[in-house]
């Protein structure tokens, strides 16, 4: 069996009696262009214990008072630990079920993963790999939040390609025998979340053995039709890659001052994450849309024509989509249309559009971009004066692992696991100091 990438953690949970509907808050990297969402949350939470007080919504990441906010967050973490708001459970995992109003619940499992087995750099061959390019410039401001933090709260989702549903799904026949940790309605239309505790023992051993089987060389080669030249990929980061990259960067700094023996069991080496089967019936892979802020639509479209012409393609603005090319619907305050690209050198539509946008933004530093979940949010932002939005088709779910295995990381912001409100809500925590 290959070396195990997983670890059974000691998870922190809020003490009994805590109002979990106020404790659980959506991932900090959502609604980054909607400060009103976070202002409403602040009023709803009020003085109750909440993960809102120990995370930094990224809408505030570039605010002038971000340093003060980070100090306040670190202080709240220490206070929650000293006051007993957060209590450490025995070693174990958490089995989760998330109802977001679809036809079936999303099943997951929270455990720890060895950051020594994760590398976010291009060309990575590690057991845990990003599915899309990591923007290293995004790490330092997030690192400032993590450095000095006593605990971490994960919104990282790691995917496994388990078509036989052999690891996570069988655990649900055991729920009647397990301690229920939470059963709560999530605020702001987040749906309902249930979690059961799996104490370290027979069940967690089965989980780790099952995950290790997915990393078996013979199993991997047969599944993807490859030989030993392709590095085994048992885990792909489906959500929260920049949070995981930040955890990795932090661990690299910490371990530099530790002996090999101290490195083995240091809490910062192991990151808490939820693992989900790519073949979970609830899991929908959706495209992520783009909105430009402070952009002139005529200039953008003209630049697109020049960019694609320089790359052997042809870009045409039209009222209808292409039949034999790639088409990108766009919208502004006063017009709609399609940016149609013929003979693109990029196979994936998202790669075609992102290649142009990266080039355009580099030449127009005053123009900003945001990556949006949900067509309604895209429309609302696109029709504001000075904005321009582009939508994209949904990528094929079954191509995700194959894309990473054969082509390396996918283009930045290629896909999303559901809409913004379906993102992971913070619930569990773990010490990292």
- Residue 34 within any structural domain of the chain: yes
Shared domain check, 90 and 224: yes
pLDDT tens-place string over residues 58-98? 999 999 999 999 999 999 999 999 999 999 999 999 999 99
Pick the more confident residue, 409 or 272: 272
- Residue 413 within any structural domain of the chain: no
Shared domain check, 274 and 309: no
pLDDT tens-place string over residues 103-150? 899 999 999 999 999 999 888 999 999 988 888 899 999 999 999 999
In the predicted model, is pLDDT for residue 260 greater than 90? yes
Confidence band of 287 (pLDDT split at 50, 70, 90): confident
**Residue 380 belongs to domain with CATH number:** 3.30.1760
Shared domain check, 348 and 423: no
pLDDT tens-place string over residues 3-27? 789 999 999 999 999 999 999 999 9
> How many independent structural domains does the chain possess?
2
32-42 b/e (C-beta count within 10 Å ≥ 16 → b): bbbeebbeebe
Shared domain check, 111 and 93: yes
Shared domain check, 247 and 201: yes
Mean pLDDT on 388-414: 83
Shared domain check, 303 and 207: no
Could you tell me which residues come within 8 angstroms of residue 263 by beta carbon, excluding any fewer than 6 positions away? 255, 269
Q: Do residues 342 and 318 lie in contact, with contact meaning Cβ atoms separated by under 8 Å?
A: no
Instruction: Look at the alpha carbons of 274, 275, 280, 285 in this order and tell me if their dihedral is positive or negative.
Output: positive
Tokens of 118: 């994760």
Residue written as token pair 């929908």: 284
Beta bridge partners of 197: 94, 179
State the average pLDDT for the chain: 94
In the predicted model, is pLDDT for residue 288 greater than 80? yes
Give, in order, the Cα–Cα distances in Å from 119 to each of 251, 294, 337.
12, 35, 40
Rounded distance between C-alpha atoms, residue 257 and residue 175, angstroms: 43
Residue-number span of the structural domain to which 50 is assigned: 6-281+418-431
Shared domain check, 387 and 293: yes
Per-residue model confidence (pLDDT) at position 42: 97
Per-residue model confidence (pLDDT) at position 275: 98
Per-residue model confidence (pLDDT) at position 132: 83
Q: Do residues 155 and 423 lie in contact, with contact meaning Cβ atoms separated by under 8 Å?
A: yes
Shared domain check, 216 and 307: no
Task: Answer yes or no: pTM beyond 0.85.
Answer: no
Q: Do residues 53 and 76 lie in contact, with contact meaning Cβ atoms separated by under 8 Å?
A: yes
Rounded distance between C-alpha atoms, residue 288 and residue 290, angstroms: 7
Shared domain check, 137 and 212: yes
- Residue 305 within any structural domain of the chain: yes
- Residue 14 within any structural domain of the chain: yes
Shared domain check, 152 and 48: yes
In the predicted model, is pLDDT for residue 1 greater than 60? no
Per-residue model confidence (pLDDT) at position 2: 58
pLDDT tens-place string over residues 317-367? 999 999 889 999 999 999 999 999 999 988 778 889 999 999 999 999 999
Shared domain check, 341 and 304: yes
φ/ψ (deg, to 5) at 359: -65, -45
Shared domain check, 254 and 293: no
- Residue 180 within any structural domain of the chain: yes
């Amino acid at each position: 069996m290959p070396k195990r990438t997983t670890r059974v953690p000691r998870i922190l949970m809020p003490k009994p009696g805590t109002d979990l509907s106020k404790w659980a808050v959506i991932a900090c990297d959502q609604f980054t262009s909607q400060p009103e969402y976070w202002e409403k949350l602040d009023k709803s939470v009020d003085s109750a214990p909440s993960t809102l007080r120990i995370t930094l919504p990224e809408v505030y990441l570039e605010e002038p008072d971000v340093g003060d906010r980070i100090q306040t967050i670190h202080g709240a973490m220490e206070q929650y630990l000293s006051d007993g708001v957060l209590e450490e459970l025995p070693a174990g995992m958490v089995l989760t079920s998330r109802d977001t109003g679809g036809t079936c619940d999303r099943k997951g499992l929270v455990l720890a993963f060895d950051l020594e087995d994760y590398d976010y750099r291009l060309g990575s061959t590690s057991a845990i790999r990003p599915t899309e390019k990591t923007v290293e410039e995004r790490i330092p401001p997030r690192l400032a939040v993590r450095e000095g933090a006593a605990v971490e709260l994960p919104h990282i989702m790691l995917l496994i390609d388990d078509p036989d549903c052999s690891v996570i799904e069988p655990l649900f026949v055991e729920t009647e025998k397990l301690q229920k940790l939470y059963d709560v309605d999530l605020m702001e239309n987040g749906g309902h979340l249930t979690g059961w505790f799996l104490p370290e023992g027979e069940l967690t051993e089965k989980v780790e053995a099952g995950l290790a089987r997915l990393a078996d060389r013979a199993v991997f080669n047969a599944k993807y039709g490859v030989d030993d030249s392709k590095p085994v990929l048992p885990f792909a980061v489906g959500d929260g890659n920049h949070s995981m990259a930040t955890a990795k960067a932090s661990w690299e700094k910490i371990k530099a001052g530790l002996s090999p023996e101290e490195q083995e069991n240091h809490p910062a080496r192991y990151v808490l994450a939820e693992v989900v089967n790519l073949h979970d019936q609830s899991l929908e892979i959706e495209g992520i849309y783009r909105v430009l802020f402070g952009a002139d639509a005529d200039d953008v479209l003209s630049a697109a024509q020049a960019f694609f012409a320089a790359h052997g393609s042809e870009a045409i603005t039209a009222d209808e989509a292409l039949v034999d090319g790639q088409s990108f619907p766009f919208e502004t305050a006063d017009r709609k249309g399609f940016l149609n690209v013929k003979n693109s050198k990029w196979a994936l539509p998202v790669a075609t559009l992102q290649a142009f946008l990266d080039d355009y933004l580099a030449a127009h530093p005053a123009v900003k971009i945001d990556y949006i979940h949900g067509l309604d949010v895209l429309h609302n932002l696109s029709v504001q004066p000075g904005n321009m939005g582009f939508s994209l088709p949904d990528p094929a779910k079954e191509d995700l692992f194959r894309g990473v295995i054969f082509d390396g990381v996918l283009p930045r912001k290629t896909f999303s696991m559901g809409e913004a409100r379906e993102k992971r809500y913070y619930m569990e925590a773990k010490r990292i100091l």
